[in-house]
Amino acid sequence: MNARRRKSLIEARIPFVVPQHQIYLPFLGVSLNERYTSVKNPNEILMPSSQLLFFYYLYHNEPDLHTRETADVLGFSAMQISRAIKQLTALNLVSTWKDGVRIVISSQESRSELFEKAKRNLLNPVNKRVYIELNDLPKGLPFAGYSALSEITMLSGSPIKTFAFFGKSSDLAGTDMLVDNVEQAEVEIWRYDPLLLSRHLGVIDTLSLIASLLTDGDERVEQSINELLKTMWG
């Protein structure tokens, strides 16, 4: 069951069961368990550092990117940037050359072509989801999920506000139970900082948002994503 359909059922307080994955019984309580399955080779899925570097390259909008300066911007160690470059080149997403002693990543393909090529390799940056009372919600969390998409497109938002958090889930007073979609918020636990590449105040970065919604399955979400990409690529 895709996320939007699930949320619609929850908002209408309609019970549902997805065997071994999800159960919602409003008259007893709620237990939601997100499972992300994939038959892809794990080596073909981008590491968080690789995905950040790849998205930074797409945002950079230039054919060449010096990786030493990029490592400083992204807060990467020499080992992290080296591993990220190695994976991106192994997947034929970029090539490299040297400017003196500095490594430069490059591509002759357009940004739109690169993104389409990389879709099968993208990492879902959302590790898990928890539900938090609005009064316990940490300050300054950016919008994520449908809430973020509705902020930057014409898509209508969901009554359940969704935010992104980068850190340990134990730092949040959250639960996997959604009881009240008015008094609670959905918080996505992210695998990397969702604000590191953001260009919209209070909203996660666009490419990472798209990566988190690629398997959503809702036609309206897909249409909004396509509109976003057209705007980005010009």
Per-residue pLDDT of the chain (234 residues; tens, 9 = 90+): 666 667 667 777 778 777 766 777 776 666 555 554 444 565 799 999 999 999 999 999 899 999 999 999 999 999 999 999 999 999 999 999 999 999 999 999 999 999 999 999 999 999 999 999 998 999 999 999 999 999 999 998 788 999 999 998 778 888 888 888 888 999 999 999 999 999 999 999 999 999 999 988 889 999 999 999 999 997
Structure tokens at 210: 């798209």
On whether both 88 and 182 belong to a single domain, the answer is no
Range of the structural domain that residue 99 is part of = 42-120
Residue type, 152: I
In angstroms, rounded to a whole number, what is the distance separating the alpha carbons of residues 55 and 197? 8
Tally of domains within the chain? 2
In angstroms, rounded to a whole number, what is the distance separating the alpha carbons of residues 54 and 46? 9
In the 8-state DSSP scheme, what is residue 214? Answer: T
On whether both 129 and 194 belong to a single domain, the answer is yes
On whether both 145 and 221 belong to a single domain, the answer is yes
Is the overall model pTM greater than 0.75, yes or no? yes
Final residue before a domain boundary, out of 120, 150, 183: 120
Q: Is residue 7 part of a domain?
A: no
Residue 38: name the closest of 117, 123, 114, 116 by CA: 123
With vertex at residue 25, the alpha carbon angle to CA 22 and CA 30, rounded to the nearest 5 degrees, is 65
122-161 burial, b at 16+ Cβ within 10 Å, e below that, comes to bbbbbbbbbbbeeeebeeebbbbbbbbbbbbbebeebebb
Final residue before a domain boundary, out of 120, 146, 173: 120
In angstroms, rounded to a whole number, what is the distance separating the alpha carbons of residues 6 and 9? 5
